[in-house]
Amino acid sequence: MSTASRLPGIAFTDHVFQVPLDHAAPEGEQIEVYAREVVASGRAEDTDLPWLLFLQGGPGGKAGRPLGRDGWLERALDDYRVLLLDQRGTGRSTPATRQTLARRGGAKEQADHLAHFRADSIVRDAELIRRRLLGEDHRWSVLGQSFGGFCTLTYLSIAPEGLDRAVITGGLAGLRSSADDVYRAAYPRVVRKNEGHYARFPQDVEAVRRIAAHLVESPAPLPDGGLLTVEAFQGLGMLLGGGSGSGTLHYLLEEAWVEGVAGPELSDTFLAGAQAQLSFASGPLYAVLHESIYGQRSVDPAGTAWSAERVRAEFPEFDARAALDSGAPVLLTGEMIYPWLFDTDPALRPLKETAELLAARADWPDLYDPAKLAANEVPVFAAIYHDDMYVDTADSLETARAVRGLRTWITNEWEHDGLRVSGGKVLDRLIAMARGEA
C-alpha cells in the first residue's frame, strides 16, 4: 500500500509493509512496518536516483517528519531518494506501547513479544523492504544515526549483500562491550558534561541544588500524573549530550520558581518543561528496550540486569542526597534507564513487570559478527564526535579498527546531534569522504 503527497521542496510516498514478527518464522504472525519515501521535487520520476535508507536513533524512535528540504535532508536529497523507516513498534508501524501491549496478555507474553524488536529484527525488516522496493539485485546505501549506527553494524554483520555503502554518525558501538562496560565508561563522561555546564552557567550550581533539596523533601506531581523525584530530576542531564542542551537546561532552570500562597513553589512552567523532557509517553520502547541493545550472549550471558542502576553505585558522586549534605554540586545523569522510572512515569508503569523480565532475560543473540566485519567489503564512513556523551569514543575507535575499510572523521565541532543540527554539513563531509574528495 502506498500514497503520494507533497510539501515544499519534496515529494513523498507512504509505504506500509507486512513483515514477520519473528523472521525465523516467516509464516507466523505479521506486523506492519511503515516507511516514507522522500525525493526532491521534480525528481520523483528519476529512476536513476540511488536509494538511501535512514536508520533513526533510539531505540524506539520513529523517523523524523520532514516539513520540506530541512536539516540533513537538504543535502541527502541532492543525491538520493531517501527512505525514512519507522522501526518496528514506533510511529506508524504497528505500535508497541502500554496500550497495545496489554492485548498481548501478561508480562511474560509482552516480554517475549518485545524480544523481537532489537537491531537484528530491524535489519531483517529493512532487507525485506529493500527486496520489495528495489528488487533482489539492487543495493542501497544506509545512513545510521546513533542507535541507527548500531543497527548499521548489525546490517554489515548479517546482510552486507544488501548495502552499497554505509554512513554512520555517532553510532559506532563497542562490538564486545557489555552493558556494564558501557555504563562504566558513560558515567565519567556525564561528569565532564556536568562540569562543562556548571562552568558555562555557574549560577546553575545553586539552582540545581535548590530544586534537588526541595524534591528530596517533597517530590512534585507532574501534569500527566507522573512524579518528579530528585532522581527523575537528575535525568534532565540527558540534555547535556546535545549541542544546544546546556542552554535549554539553563533556561528551564531559570523559571523553576514562583511565589505561591504558601511561599516559593515549583512553577507550572518548569514542571511542564521537565515533563516534556522526561516523559516516555511518545517513545516507551526507548526505556523498555534500552539496555537490551547491549545484550549479546557471547558478552553478557547472564543478561543486562539493570546495568545502569548497578553501575551507578560505583559512582557515589551521583548521589544527590550526599551532594546536598556535603555542599557539592548535584550531578545530573545522562542516557541511563533505571527501574524506578517504571514507578514515576505513567506511560511506563503498566510495563514495569515486562521491563523486569527483559532486564533478567539471558542468552540474547549476538548482534555483531566480528569475523564478518573484519572481512567487510562495503565502504563505511563514520563521524565520531569527540567526547560524545552517549557513545564512548574509545569504543568507537576500537570498532573502527575492527571493521575492514571503515574510514573515520573525528570532530569536536558537533555533539551527538550533529547530523540533525549541522544543516547538512556533517552528511556533506561524509559524502565527500565516500567520493574520495575528503
For residue 360, the surrounding DSSP H or E stretch is: helix 352-360
Residue that the C-alpha cell 539471558 belongs to: 362
Grid coordinates of 406: 571503515
**Per-residue pLDDT averaged across 129-146, rounded?**
96
Reference 13, options 66, 89, 79, 60; nearest CA is 66
| Contact between residue 36 and residue 5 where contact means Cβ atoms under 8 Å apart | no
Q: Strands across the sheet with 140-145, in order? A: 2-7, 10-20, 30-40, 81-86, 51-55, 140-145, 163-169, 380-385, 406-411
- 363 catalytic? Reply is yes
pLDDT value at position 111?
A: 97
Neighbours of 113 (CB within 10 A): 21
**Per-residue pLDDT averaged across 206-228, rounded?**
97
Reference 88, options 50, 60, 56; nearest CA is 60
Grid coordinates of 218: 517533597
Residues in the chain: 438
Task: For the chain, state the CA radius of gyration.
Answer: 22
- 146 catalytic? Reply is yes
The CATH number of 2-175+368-434 is: 3.40.50.1820
User: Of these residues, 146, 177, 178, 246, which one is catalytic?
Assistant: 146
Residue 437 has pLDDT above 80, yes or no: yes
**Per-residue pLDDT averaged across 254-263, rounded?**
95
- Give the C-alpha separation, 426 to 169, whole Å: 8
Grid coordinates of 286: 526507548
User: Of these residues, 116, 214, 290, 416, which one is catalytic?
Assistant: 416
Residue 99: Cβ-neighbour burial (10 angstroms; 0-12, 13-18, 19+): exposed
Measured between alpha carbons, how far is residue 181 from residues 141, 236, 243 in Å? Answer: 31, 23, 25
User: Of these residues, 2, 138, 268, 363, which one is catalytic?
Assistant: 363
pTM of the model: 0.96
Measured between alpha carbons, how far is residue 355 from residues 62, 279, 288, 290, 305 in Å? Answer: 20, 16, 5, 10, 10
Grid coordinates of 161: 549483500
pLDDT in tens, 347-395: 999 999 999 999 999 989 999 999 999 999 999 999 999 989 999 999 9
The phi, psi pair for 34, rounded to 5°, reads -100, 145
- Give the C-alpha separation, 293 to 182, whole Å: 11
Pairing of strands 51-55, 10-20: unpaired
| Contact between residue 104 and residue 113 where contact means Cβ atoms under 8 Å apart | yes
**Per-residue pLDDT averaged across 249-257, rounded?**
98
- 416 catalytic? Reply is yes
Q: What residues does each domain of the chain span?
A: 2-175+368-434, 179-360
Residues 6+ apart with CB under 8 A from 136: none
Residue 1 has pLDDT above 60, yes or no: no
Mean pLDDT taken over the chain: 96
